[in-house]
Structure 1
């Protein structure tokens, strides 16, 4: 992650500035970070997951969103662009710039963001009271790590590998791993 010309903003200044930018930038505690373009496999897997979720959530109050919509994490003074997220919160339907009450967040790992997705970003995401599940998708390993919030506010890892269904209990849906990794060639 690279800082965009070492700019410092308030959250409101960032939102106004970001609307005028050609590229996407994430915002963390006053600092703005330029987002790099994703590789084809990353985009395909993100689209597979978002499409699967959209299909399974049809007729419910929940919506799946792709990487172009911001996520506001007020408790972390941050805005992120998750690869995929789902919100079932009516307040999120009314806001065109960002959502702030996701039930599910998905990050597809890339070499440049893997450590951040597992570390600092997950720390920020855990501050969202609405968040029930956080998926980390490892394309190389054909693995989905599902961190699920427990009743005690702990996070329990459910590992999905092979020919199984990835269970998303927060949404009451299952997605076959073959569907998540559809059109991705084995190495």
Structure 2
């Protein structure tokens, strides 16, 4: 009998229905202004941001509120920004993370994209988890000011905290699976803590 060789699957980063098409950055910014749906700009390709579930939105709001409260209490000169804030990774790469934190003076480009986040948070969805953990994370690492990358699972208690170490390498400094755990984030001279019970309340 002939040997059957399985066809190799070509890697496809985004579902075809999410890819809007090719544009310049200027065209994309104009498109955003008249679009009801956010989209990311990835090296000339415009990709629709996946829709979020109520659980996704609640967890992002819970985390943003808890982190904002503790930053205010510690008088850290930092701000928490929500999912409508686009972030500039490079001149041709823009994302809308679920949350980001900027400390000190904000730096934005001509398109109002934040250039100096120190924390980026992504709430994981089934359709985006693989990308958040791989390609997007590698791209985020190009942001020189970024020190913390936090992934939050929306369907179970699971939070992974990556931190950029002094030698420039990224390491997992926290991998939490219990609401009794506490996330610690070092921002300059301040160390802020967020109990997971507040994130998943």
Superposed displacement of residue 97, structure 1: 2.5
1:98 to 113, 128, 132: 113
Query: Which is greater in Rg?
Result: 2
Query: 2-side partners of 1:106 and 1:125: how far apart?
Result: 11
How many residues get paired?
179
1:80 to 95, 108, 111: 95
Instruction: Give the structure 2 partner of residue 174 of structure 1.
Output: 193
Is 1:137–1:144's contact at 8 Å kept on the other side of the alignment? yes
Query: 2-side partners of 1:152 and 1:178: how far apart?
Result: 32
Query: 2-side partners of 1:19 and 1:136: how far apart?
Result: 29
Partner of 2:59: helix, strand, or coil? helix
Q: Residues 28-177 of structure 1 correspond to what in structure 2 (within 5 A)?
A: 28-58=42-72, 59-74=75-90, 77-92=92-107, 97-157=112-172, 158-162=174-178, 163-170=180-187, 172-177=191-196
| Cα deviation code 1:85-116 (max 9, x no counterpart) | 00114133797832111110000100000001
Query: 2-side partners of 1:12 and 1:123: how far apart?
Result: 25
TM-score, length basis structure 1: 0.89
Pairwise CA RMSD: 1.8
TM-score, length basis structure 2: 0.83
Superposed displacement of residue 11, structure 1: 2.0
Partner of 1:99: helix, strand, or coil? coil
Is 1:167–1:175's contact at 8 Å kept on the other side of the alignment? yes
Over 3 Å counting, the alpha-carbon distance change for 1:74 and 1:89 in structure 2 is farther
Query: 2-side partners of 1:169 and 1:74: how far apart?
Result: 25
Is 2:50–2:127's contact at 8 Å kept on the other side of the alignment? no
Superposed displacement of residue 21, structure 1: 1.3
Is 1:89–1:102's contact at 8 Å kept on the other side of the alignment? no
Is 1:89–1:101's contact at 8 Å kept on the other side of the alignment? no
Q: Which runs of 5 or more residues in structure 1 are unaligned?
A: 183-187
Query: 1-side partners of 2:107 and 2:199: how far apart?
Result: 26
2:26 to 12, 23, 26: 12
